[in-house]
Chains A and B, each alone.
Chain A
């Protein structure tokens, strides 16, 4: 981090022992283990599996009901897809227009190429605006999580308080979000009570005496704990669900009112906005604000939506900033296939419907974006060189349920396959460069051999005739590999395999039919 030393020293105090906010788990997300490895750990968490199954089943059912009741749902999806495509295909134009509109409305616009630059800008802006307390209140925002902003502020001696209930649970629990919409969905009510009882008092108003596990009472505890922070807030940091190019209007969609508190009560408001969040006109909101809540929480409309266009005299913050961040997005845009992923409006419908996510939860993905969109977008944004990023595109059965629910029709199964191809290419490149290979890769050899076999009918016919898929075909390709531990062992751990038939179909056909189809 490029934080001025004097500021960093204030926060550091005595060698990391004094933190302003609860410490998250150590390490960087990009250094997470490969998906299958962490997934195995998560699968073993029976409480989490039960919580996830219950929650995902509920939210899927709600979404299904409220999307089915609109007779023009598919037209809405097509419109959402088209508006996003139109914008992304001329993103430079719309970004310049957005900047002009924001500036005309009195908002200061900043541009950040990457997370480090964004954090440097944000820390600087916060420093300019702080009151007596070195703290900011935060509206839930994926962009700020993506750039790990809270830790950058912590290093600068500034406390960033999460105000969304789930984010508060995660923050106080020294935890990481496991879902983009309901980040604490891996926790149940007793765990939440424990976290509140244990931690709230260390960072502000303690949990009320005798707090029980009733969600309403737990929410009540959060209301009390956060209210003092809202009432004294000088600086708030938000994201934005949409940024309107023609007017410079920002839109935040939320449920609890914590967003409104931050957006309204602070004197300075800093909004961190990914460059793909821009849409052309105010009227476009009629499409996205029908698509988003129904896809996301399964409600006809979320409780609160705030729209603001710069500072408003006598109402709310007097100073507004927007930090437009790239952080890998232009890399995604440069891939004509992959750019479809930038349409994402972060609704979480694909996550909620994903059978793989439901089994393992969000932490297995080593990213702030889990589920199908995370398995696609994360390696697009970060590249496919880290072990976890290279494993993410394979974290799917390609069942296709995600595309069916995506409100902007992102072809997620196709993009997963596209990214698998990128991983294969990257591995081949690494292999040809003779680097990065800790052990010989069996898969490329097998796949090349399989490709050859299926491309040459005589080889395949011979393989079928021999009834052996492995040895005969691989002969000449991988003779030195010997017996194959993969793939049979991982299949037969919990699943039986039937005894192979004694006669193949082609043998049966040849025995019973003439070549022209007539019976022998």
Chain B
């Protein structure tokens, strides 16, 4: 039975560690949560996103709805799912440009989601050095499947959400994790190097990642 397996494994572990004094604690030569010194955090973020061959553009808050609509038009996405909590103006702009806008309330089935061309989300935090966008799936970000199944992901990142590197970004997401919310890190579009180590962008996740960096608050 599993419980006896538990006791036996823990017993084996204790026996195996008989040489380790109980008070022994390996010192960790590391200071957590430190920023990395970068010349310009936003420039580094841009550089890394482009390095992943994802699309990147900067705009003001006021420009976001139009930029999202333009991006979806460029990728020929005729439908988009917009999570709860996303700025209503984005939905309005998409409707105006002829995109079928879907809400995830009630939740879309997997098949409906698969038949949806794009998803637009915000994010929780982004790390410049690695070009990593982190979603904690709070308002504006949707459940995990939303930013996964549609083939185009437009992600809106506010400049004040971009930190230098992973240590700062982890520090900003531990609260969500301690609240047991899922967190997803996204660094470029889905990719594989499984065939002859040739990098191919786009396998199962969205084949297109489009990042909008919002530098000034035009509107909320």
Contacts and interface: CB of A to CB of B under 8 A. Distances in A.
A303 B131 CA distance: 10
A82 B30 contact: yes
A330 B9 contact: yes
Contacts of B70: none
A58 interface: yes
Interface string B12-27: 1111110110001111
Contacts of B60: none
B84 to A, nearest CB: 11
A91 B17 contact: yes
Nearest to B174: A282
B58 interface: no
Nearest to A339: B16
B142 to A, nearest CB: 9
B50 interface: no
Given A75-B30, A215-B198, A287-B30, A92 B10 contact: yes
Contacts of A394: none
A246 to B, nearest CB: 8
B110 A316 contact: no
A76 B25 CA distance: 19
Contact of A305 (B148, B184, B192): B184
A89 interface: yes
Given A165-B194, A283-B170, A222 B26 contact: no
B79 interface: no
Interface stretch (A105-113, A143-151, A204-212): A105-113
Contacts of B52: 303
A468 interface: no
A222 B131 CA distance: 27
A216 B190 CA distance: 12
B29 A166 contact: no
B140 interface: no
Contacts of A192: 195
Interface in B165-220: 165-167, 170-171, 174, 177-178, 180-198, 200-206
Given A79-B28, A89-B26, A300 B129 contact: yes
A55 interface: yes
Contacts of B181: 309, 312
Nearest to B168: A286
B24 to A, nearest CB: 6
Contacts of B132: 301
Contacts of A218: 195
A195 to B, nearest CB: 11
B2 A111 contact: yes
Contacts of A169: 194-195
Nearest to B9: A326
A19 to B, nearest CB: 24
Contact of A86 (B26, B184, B185): B26
B177 A227 contact: no
Interface in B105-120: 107, 110-111, 114
Interface of A is mostly: helix
A301 B195 contact: no
A32 interface: no
Given A257-B204, A283-B174, A303-B205, A326 B195 contact: no
B76 interface: no
Given A255-B193, A287-B30, A300-B131, A330 B187 contact: no
B196 A282 contact: no
Interface string A111-145: 11100010001000000000000000000000000
Contacts of B137: 312, 315
A306 interface: yes
Interface in A297-322: 297, 299-310, 312, 314-316
Nearest to B37: A71
B198 to A, nearest CB: 4
A252 to B, nearest CB: 10
A357 to B, nearest CB: 15
Interface string B72-112: 00000000000000000000000000000000000100110
Interface in B40-85: 48, 52
Given A219-B203, A304-B185, A75 B29 contact: yes
Contact of A78 (B29, B127, B182, B202): B29
A308 B135 CA distance: 12
Contact of B203 (A111, A256, A290): A256
A312 B190 contact: no
Contacts of A105: 180
Interface string A181-216: 011110111001000000000000000000000011
A99 B191 CA distance: 34
A304 B206 CA distance: 11
Given A86-B26, A247-B177, A285-B170, A257 B148 contact: yes
Q: Which are the 4 A-B pairs with shortest beta-carbon distances?
A: A257-B205, A334-B16, A79-B30, A257-B204
19 contacts: A82-B29, A90-B20, A113-B5, A113-B9, A165-B203, A166-B195, A219-B195, A219-B202, A227-B204, A258-B203, A286-B166, A293-B130, A301-B127, A303-B188, A304-B186, A312-B181, A316-B143, A333-B12, A336-B19
Interface of B: 2-3, 5-6, 8-10, 12-17, 19-20, 24-30, 32-33, 48, 52, 107, 110-111, 114, 127, 129-132, 137, 143-145, 148-149, 165-167, 170-171, 174, 177-178, 180-198, 200-206
Given A82-B30, A223-B202, A309-B180, 12 more contacts: A78-B29, A79-B28, A82-B27, A112-B2, A164-B194, A183-B194, A219-B195, A257-B148, A286-B33, A308-B183, A312-B137, A312-B182
